[in-house]
Amino acid sequence: MDPEILFESADYVIVNKPCGIATEPDKSRAASLRDLVAANRKVAPHAVSRLDLGVSGAVLFAMSDRGKREAASLQQAGAHHRRYVAMVAAPISASSPALKSDIEQRSASTRLLFAATAERGVTILGLAPETGRMHQLRIHCSRAGAPILGDPKYGGLRHVTSASGAVHALPRLFLHSYALGFAAELIGDRLPTWIVAPIPEPFRSLWASSGGPESTWVQATSACSEQTQQ
């Protein structure tokens, strides 16, 4: 399986990770995303950002020592921005204290960028993690009373009912790393200001079967790739 390359240079590779594959090698010994990026390249990739097994979307790999140093500087400066799209079965308020609740006694904060609910109650969320705790978005959504669909570990539904009344099993965790952003004043032309990983088809299909209009995706993705920082 060849991952979709979203951006490539001598210092970086950004790929669109499929769900169901680990970002880095694990105990299963199955091929990881890092293994696939390393294939046919002469350097060992370094995963700057990592996604859970069931999460899809944009992942940044540094391919040189300069890339590793620059990526670390971007993270320390708060200039490496991440935007996610999730689907849940209940609305979330932007003022929910759950979005700023500690995880394992460490401060954790998530910003809600967008929310829209279809007639069957399924909600699209645009999320921006402001810290990087393990499972942060999954935990914050669950604590806010709206666990991510297809995430039984944190209370997410395994099945949903469509607008026609049909019951559908959920094929995956409905969390996707939609966009990575980098501060232009720090990277110049060495990285794109924003790069996006297209919304997976299961997200669009679930939204349509829940009675949601296709136009909502334009609003959601626009909110997730805004270049203003709040």
CATH of residue 115's domain is 3.30.2350.10
Q: Is residue 157 part of a domain?
A: yes
Q: Which has the closest alpha carbon to 81: 175, 12, 181?
A: 181
Q: Is the pLDDT of residue 230 over 50?
A: no
| Model confidence at 125: pLDDT above 50 | yes
Per residue in 184-197, pLDDT (tens digit) is 777 777 888 899 99
Q: What is the pTM of this model?
A: 0.94
Total tally of structural domains belonging to the chain: 1
**Residues in the chain, how many?**
230
Burial class of residue 7, CB neighbours in 10 A (0-12, 13-18, 19+): middle
- The answer to whether residue 33 sits within a structural domain is yes
Domain span including residue 61: 4-223
The full DSSP string for 8-75 is E-SSEEEEEEPTTS-SS--TT-PPPHHHHHHTT-SS--EESS---TT-EEEEEEE-SHHHHHHHHHHH
- Residue 228: per-residue pLDDT: 43
- Within a 10 A sphere around the Cβ of 194, how many other Cβ atoms? 17
Question: What one-letter code names the amino acid at 32?
Answer: S
Distance CA 169, CA 157 (A): 9
pLDDT of residue 221: 95
Whether residue 230 lies inside any domain: the answer is: no
List 62's β-bridge partners, or say none. Answer: 12, 46
Q: Report d(CA 89, CA 123) in Å as an integer.
A: 6
Instruction: Let me know if residue 229 belongs to a domain.
Output: no
Asked if residue 15 is part of any domain, the answer here is: yes
The SS3 of residue 103 is strand
The answer to whether residue 51 is domain-embedded is: yes
For 71-98, what is the mean pLDDT? 93
Q: How big is the CA angle at 78 (ends 77 and 82), to the nearest 5 degrees?
A: 145
The verdict on residue 228 lying in a domain is no
Give 96's pLDDT tier (boundaries 50, 70, 90).
Answer: very high
Cα atoms in the Cβ-side hemisphere of radius 13 Å centred on 116: 19
pLDDT at 229: 44
Q: How far is Cα 197 from Cα 177, in angstroms, rounded to an integer? A: 7
What is the band of 55 on the pLDDT scale with cuts at 50, 70, 90? Answer: very high
